[in-house]
Amino acid sequence: MPVRRTAEALEEMKAGQLLKVIATDDWFGPDLEAWLKGRPHSLLSLSNSREEIHAFIRKTV
């Protein structure tokens, strides 16, 4: 679900904008990395902090 919501959010954004995602799903990181392969967006950072996963993605197209 978090990756789908991320995809929906990116669709609404303009190129160059930055999306911050905070998720609690343990599989969000690997799922996000797999989903981003072959897509033009840039994963700037992916980090875990206790019970949350934080991702910063730049929309490039």
pLDDT tens, residue by residue, 8-51 = 999 999 999 999 999 999 999 999 999 999 899 999 999 998 89
What b/e string do you get for 35-59 counting C-beta neighbours within 10 Å, with b at 16 or more?
Answer: ebeeeebebeebeeeeeebebebbb
Q: pLDDT value at position 50?
A: 84
- Give the angle subtended at the CA of 41 by the CAs of 50 and 12, to the nearest 5°: 90
**CATH code of domain 2-58:** 3.30.110.40
Is 0.75 surpassed by the pTM of this model?
yes
Question: For residue 7, is pLDDT > 90?
Answer: yes
Residue 4: per-residue pLDDT? 95
**Is 1's pLDDT higher than 80?**
no
